[in-house]
Chain A
């Protein structure tokens, strides 16, 4: 346990720089977005009211008040989120390959540590999870700050105030990142965890058998997906809707756990016996 935590901390420190840069970009771009977009709205209001002499009430009924939603639907807000998602996706691969291709083949030392080699796998996957939660948590802190800035920028009669919960639930595209309930949280992030572990196993296949390993890795991923989907496929094509939806749902969770266990088991085997440096 202690060596696992040490490894997690060690991996995190290696990721900290990229992580901090991504957080910084998010902070700067999103707050700039709030300022730019509300300035644009204010300029338009000024133009209509003071230059075209449109009464304020008419302006509000024609153009509406500005809500925080027009910010969250803009590139200013969604761009950094997409960047962070891409960053995590990229780092899933980088977290392994940097140990082979970075300065002085680091994986050699990692594998020589006097602890079970699976701890390396656990530490890396924990870091991916930590990074994801880190971005989500940071975004949740950032939203209230941004709405404060938004309130500074616009007079009360021109804006609609929303709380964090309303803002988050008005973005259905991001519902997977900010689930509505604890159960959904476990399921979505659990599914993500499963996918990452399958990818890790595929990477380890490649690291063990090189070119041939790529095919084995792809084959392994396909089999994992097929096993995971098997209850759905059976229900649709063989069993004629035999299962009630709730039974199918539980079966899917069980299949997910089986696939996750299979993938971790395979990775452990590869790390112990087949990995090449």
Chain B
């Protein structure tokens, strides 16, 4: 045995040291604080179906951690995203995950852009734009369309050339809708004509049965401004699980203002444009002056919800597209002075308005409010708090970035 001593001792060292390391790291896994929703007013049942998503981080610069977690009425759960398998699988949006589980084969080779999908009781439609990457420009833009018939499980797939594609520099699918056997693909295009660049919003109508493009409408065409101005148009996304009659675009004009060492963007002008997919009418919405400064927080297809902080209050104003007028506003009292300008997360579902602010830390707490839209009553109010009481020196922040109502 004597001549084996080097060999045996190195094996022993390896097994012991690496073994201890893994046993220790398994048992001493870092514990992050739990968060709970603390009810203040109303019925806790109202938030049973609510899921909040956020990131927790500790402010100590030496030990910077950023961890994602989900918070429900039952408490918080950290999303373990650091293992190799989690990294490989990635974390597509919940709706994409559901679709992948339900339609495993259909979802092969589809991107994870929520806007590319449309789902109703009968069908699941998908549209994307494929192109060849060139050295200086991208070429050969083609729509790749797939439609799954949910009744018989058949999939139709076809691709069509994008019309007028010679002027297109880039194209991105914002949204897909199906109206009367017609697939509407709403896109953001960047085009160049005679050395001038335009940002455009298009709606391409594609006949599902023949696979031909019926029409190509330009909703907005904005020349790229010179100098220190910026103009951009956005489509306000609604839930991807419903068909929409109305599309809502915001055109924002901003000016860059140079300050001492940085730039600041100042909003100069905002225009809201609605487009009806059935009547094909485009309309610019004339907002009352009182709403001009407010943030657009949510759009459900027929009503826009504006929000604004004023002191300790958050004011939410619904604006109906049908009647072209603002309804009664809701004033929600916050438990603390809200210094952050960031608009809250607002969701309207089944006649209830859910409003959540973003941050819980030593000074502020994220507020949750549920309002019954029929009676305009606040039926729930609560805040997201840390379960254990933090030591006063310990800097931490919970930032809520998403809310879902299941």
Contact mask for chain B residues 357-374; partner A; CB cutoff 8 A; 1 contact, 0 none = 000000000000000000
A265 sits at the interface (CB 8 A): no
- Within 8 Å CB of B83, what residues of A? 180-181, 183-184
Contact mask for chain B residues 52-95; partner A; CB cutoff 8 A; 1 contact, 0 none = 00000000001100000000000000000011110011100000
The 8 Å CB contact of A12, one of B10, B16, B28, B88, is B10
A130 sits at the interface (CB 8 A): yes
- The answer on a CB contact under 8 Å between A137 and B17 is yes
- Within 8 Å CB of A16, what residues of B? 6
- The answer on a CB contact under 8 Å between A137 and B18 is yes
Contact mask for chain A residues 169-183; partner B; CB cutoff 8 A; 1 contact, 0 none = 000000000101111
Complex Cα distance, B88 from A99, in Å, reads 43
Closest to A132 in B: B14
The 8 Å CB contact of B13, one of A138, A241, A242, is A138
B24 sits at the interface (CB 8 A): yes
> What's the least CB distance linking B93 to chain A, in Å?
15
> What's the least CB distance linking A122 to chain B, in Å?
15
- Within 8 Å CB of B28, what residues of A? 163, 165
- The answer on a CB contact under 8 Å between B3 and A9 is yes
Closest to B104 in A: A244
Complex Cα distance, B62 from A166, in Å, reads 11
Q: A245-B90, A249-B88 are in contact. Are A165 and B7 (CB under 8 A)?
A: no
Tell me the chain A residues, 133-169 only, with Cβ under 8 Å from chain B: 133-134, 136-138, 140-141, 160, 163-166, 168
Q: A12-B7, A160-B62 are in contact. Are A180 and B82 (CB under 8 A)?
A: yes
Complex Cα distance, B25 from A181, in Å, reads 9
> What's the least CB distance linking B88 to chain A, in Å?
5
- The answer on a CB contact under 8 Å between B7 and A133 is no
- The answer on a CB contact under 8 Å between A165 and B24 is yes
Interface size of B in residues (CB-CB distance below 8 Å): 30
- Within 8 Å CB of B85, what residues of A? 183, 246, 249
- The answer on a CB contact under 8 Å between A245 and B3 is no
- The answer on a CB contact under 8 Å between A134 and B6 is no
Complex Cα distance, B62 from A180, in Å, reads 20
- The answer on a CB contact under 8 Å between A137 and B13 is yes
> What's the least CB distance linking B237 to chain A, in Å?
24
- Within 8 Å CB of A239, what residues of B? 109
- The answer on a CB contact under 8 Å between B88 and A134 is no
By Cβ-Cβ distance, the 7 closest A-B pairs, closest first, are A137-B17, A137-B14, A241-B109, A165-B25, A9-B7, A140-B17, A133-B14
**Interface positions of A (Cβ within 8 A of B):** 8-9, 12-13, 16, 67, 69, 130, 133-134, 136-138, 140-141, 160, 163-166, 168, 178, 180-184, 187, 239-246, 249
Report 7 cross-chain contacts, Cβ distance below 8 Å, ordered by A residue. Answer: A12-B7, A13-B6, A69-B62, A130-B14, A133-B14, A137-B16, A187-B84
